Amino acid sequence: MLILNREIWSEIYYTLSKNKLRTILTMIGVAWGMFLYVFLLGAAKGVENGFNKIFDGFATNSIFLWGESTSEPYHGLPKYRPIDLNLEDINYLKTEVEEIETIVPRSAASSEQGIINRHKITKRYSVFGDYPIANQLVKKEIIRGRLLNEEDINHNRKVVVIGKEIAEQFFSKNENPIGEYIKINNTYFKVIGVYKNPNGSNTSDNQLFIPFNTYQQIYNRGNKIGWMVIVIKPQYDVKKAEIKIKNILKQRHKVSPTDEKAFAGFNFAEGYKKLVRFLEGMQLLTWIVGGLTILAGVIAISNILLITVKERTLEIGIKRALGAKPKEIRYQILMESVFLTIFSGLIGFIGGILFLFFINQMIVNNPNIPFYNPSISMWNVLAALSLMVSLGLSIGLIPAQQAVRIKPIEALRAE
């Protein structure tokens, strides 16, 4: 086989080493293209993995909904009327909206309303009233004790889950908060758990969570709620379900059908879809940028080989005069093109992998950066190698054909 012909490889080595600087500069173009391809693709995957880690276990098809004030008078009711959602709304929506998979009420007191005491220490923190199911919607990583459960709700227990920051403020380093008591607005609560903020979660370490029913009692909320979290069944469109829910609430609270400001909310599903589309676009951009950079490098190799062929006119002419067939000349030039392309690409590939590893080690423990386990699939590696070989062969045909067209007599005469 010609590919195993030692003489051909010796000639390739001699040709490329004849002008080392030019060869190295040519290889840098392809190596840089492959480096960019690997790094950008791996970085895009790292960002995707980072966001997937953040939203792991989170209900991405959810809606957060709360009442504001009306912007239009309706049926004799004035403009700017405050709208308070209540537990009856929750129960009604559960039975009337088939798209709803889970609906849970939540209430919260700001840090101005949450006065926390223990011994001689007094501080202000946000206090949340929650059902246990909210633990699936708002991530908390328990480091001591447990989360709220149904027994806490059913028995109106005065128990609390506190953030790590709060535990550090009210308890000494060697003191276990579990089983101890703190005062929330002059009411004693037993600490049953300490949590910390998971990577990227929107839960801070300086919040307190108590049973929903207990919260309603100590803050005298009656059946009013702060907001509701609604998870839509996967087979339904979240945006359409949101519109349907708001229309029902408008009817229940006597709000004009055209009033768009009476109810506010955040459609988490829409935001998540935009994020997914952004990540997909980033992957596509990576393919385009990497592919074009590799193409530019391979074109540079073709240009250099054209120059090399011109410089080797006498050599090629002598070979033809000694009986070398056109396909042998063409094959050697193509081999030089493919060899330069693949060798340069491998250097760039290794460089890209090492740089990704370095970046990952630098920020692996930083919870504020959504970047985790940057990697590139074997399919992408094979695709890149196939692209390089194809481009090397295609672009190499130009100088190869130029070399084949050299006639022995004309070559000797030119020299």
Q: In whole angstroms, how far apart are CA 255 and each of 6, 71, 241? A: 87, 9, 18
In degrees, rounded to 5, the angle at the alpha carbon of residue 222 between the alpha carbons of residues 254 and 87 is 55
**Which residues have a Cβ under 8 Å from the Cβ of 82 and sit 6 or more positions away?**
67, 68, 69
Predicted local distance difference test score (pLDDT) of residue 377: 76
Tokens for 391, please give them: 């481009």
Return the bridge partners of 194, or none: 144, 162
User: pLDDT tens digits, residue range 62-104?
Assistant: 889 999 999 999 988 899 999 999 999 999 999 999 999 989 9
Q: Is the pTM for the entire model greater than 0.75?
A: no
**Which tens digit of pLDDT belongs to each residue from 298-321?**
777 777 666 666 666 666 666 666
Q: To the nearest whole percent, how much of the chain has pLDDT over 70?
A: 78
Confidence of residue 9 (pLDDT cuts 50, 70, 90): low
Q: What is the largest CA-CA distance in the chain?
A: 106
- Would strands 141-145 and 121-124 be described as parallel, antiparallel, or unpaired? unpaired
pLDDT, tens digit (0-9, with 9 covering 90-100), for 151-196: 999 999 999 999 999 999 999 888 999 999 999 988 999 999 999 8
Burial 198-207 (b: 16+ CB within 10 A, else e): bbbbebebbb
Provide CB contacts within 8 A for 258, sequence distance 6+. Answer: 72
State how far the alpha carbon of 211 is from the alpha carbons of 108, 134, 223, 230, in Å.
Answer: 11, 11, 14, 19
pLDDT tens string 228-248: 999 899 899 888 999 999 999
Evaluate whether 261 touches 68 at the Cβ level (below 8 Å).
Answer: yes
Q: How far apart are CA 117 and CA 185, in angstroms?
A: 8
Residue 414 has pLDDT above 90, yes or no: no
Q: How confident is the model at residue 400 (pLDDT cuts 50, 70, 90)?
A: low
Q: Is the pLDDT of residue 415 over 70?
A: no
pLDDT at 163: 92
- Provide the sign of the torsion angle of the four alpha carbons 363, 365, 366, 372, taken in this order: positive
How far, in Å, are 295, 303, 339, 358 from residue 331 at the CA level? Answer: 21, 17, 12, 40
Query: What's the confidence (pLDDT) of residue 1?
Result: 47
- Mean pLDDT for the chain overall: 81
pLDDT digits (tens, 9 = 90+) for 258-281: 999 999 988 877 877 888 888 888
Is residue 253 pLDDT above 50, yes or no?
A: yes
The pLDDT tens digits for 275-298 are: 888 888 888 887 788 778 777 777
pLDDT (tens digit per residue) in 118-156: 988 899 999 999 998 887 776 778 999 999 999 999 999
Of all residues in the chain, what percent carry a pLDDT higher than 90?
Answer: 32
Question: Distance between CA atoms of 162 and 203, rounded to whole angstroms?
Answer: 11
Query: Where residue 6 falls among pLDDT bands split at 50, 70, 90?
Result: low
Which segments of 63-144 does DSSP mark as H helices, in order? 87-96
Q: Is residue 215's pLDDT more than 70?
A: yes
